[in-house]
Amino acid sequence: MKSFVIALVTFTLVMSGVAYAGAPKDKPDKKGVLIVAFGTSMPDARKAIDNLVNSAKAAFPGTEVRLAYTSNIIRNKIAKEQKVNIPTPTSALAQMNDEGFTHVYVMPTHIIPGEEYDDISGVVNGFAAIKGKYEFRELKLARPYLSSADDCDAMADILVKRFAKDLANAGTEIVLMGHGTPHHAANAMYSQLQLSLDKKAPGRFTLGTVEAAPMIEDVVARLKHNTAVKSLVISPLMIVAGDHANNDLAGRDDPESWYNQLKGAGYKDIKAHLVGLGEDEGIAKLFVAKIKDMMK
């Protein structure tokens, strides 16, 4: 009986004492950055993501920078067509854990903290809940680009600079297409950004989204109230100029594209600027700054 009790106590101590006996407190720091994007299967559009990844690598030369995609459809397509395997956030964090990373900083490329961000947050919180031998010493998730009024002001400054040449023409309006997240409080950040743009460049920007308010009908209605508008520049408010930008925004063959609907509304002079925000150096600097804030 005595030997049984000793064995039982020993087993209990081992099982409950993992955090004490097995936690890697004496292991040297090994830091990493995990960039999480929705993803793209278009090689040209990939340049935007590559720019952010390369900017992070340049800013943190002693820290390993990795990439994960949230879209399984895109991941599977890339694996099949390009023979490249890009992990999910879950598998990427698990791999970094297995490789002994002690500090991991997760940086999303998403514009607003919508449904996609909630999913990423769930994954990070799951790993953060692990205690003991397999816990990260530090695991943080940054907020997306548009998470506050100050963020919107910063983005507005970048956009005004980005379209400075177009804005030099008094009759040109910049029409931006965001993705949008229906039935989610974070979608309100697009309205906040519109307010910031109106403050920085009154009457020069109109913002809409593909999947939530404000939609193309709202965009047209706003444009009609500005009689000074003579020409339009349409551009994605997205990190990557992928399918939405090339088809939903600027598609010539789709009668429902914004390009064709704006044409139908009477705007004949329309130029498409199909470059993802990720290629903008101002966006890349903001991206790096958010990572630095996490590391403080």
Binding site as annotated, residues for Co(2+): 179, 211, 244
- Would you report the helix, strand and coil content of the chain in percent, each value rounded to 5? 50, 15, 35
Secondary structure letter of residue 278 according to DSSP: G
Beta-bridged to residue 152, according to DSSP, are none
Let me know if 183 is a catalytic residue: no
d(C-alpha 106, C-alpha 89), whole Å:
9
Query: Please, what is the Cα angle at 20 between 93 and 134, to 5 degrees?
Result: 10
3-state secondary structure of 127: helix
- Which amino acid is located at 239 in the chain? I
Q: In the numeric block, which tokens belong to residue 66?
A: 């990795």
Strand partners, 69: 37
**Binding residue numbers:** 179, 211, 244
- Distance, in Å, from the CA atom of 254 to the CA atom of 259, rounded to the nearest integer, reads 9
Element (H, E) at 233: strand 231-236
Nearest to 154 by CA among 277, 38, 296: 277
Kindly name the residue from 179, 183, 225, 273 that is annotated as catalytic. Answer: 179
Token pair in block for residue 205: 């920007």
For 222, half-sphere exposure in the C-beta direction (CA atoms, 13 angstrom radius) is 21
String of b and e for 132-142 (b: at least 16 CB within 10 Å)? eeebbeebbbb
Angle between helices 46-59 and 281-295 (to 10 degrees): 50
Active site residues: 179
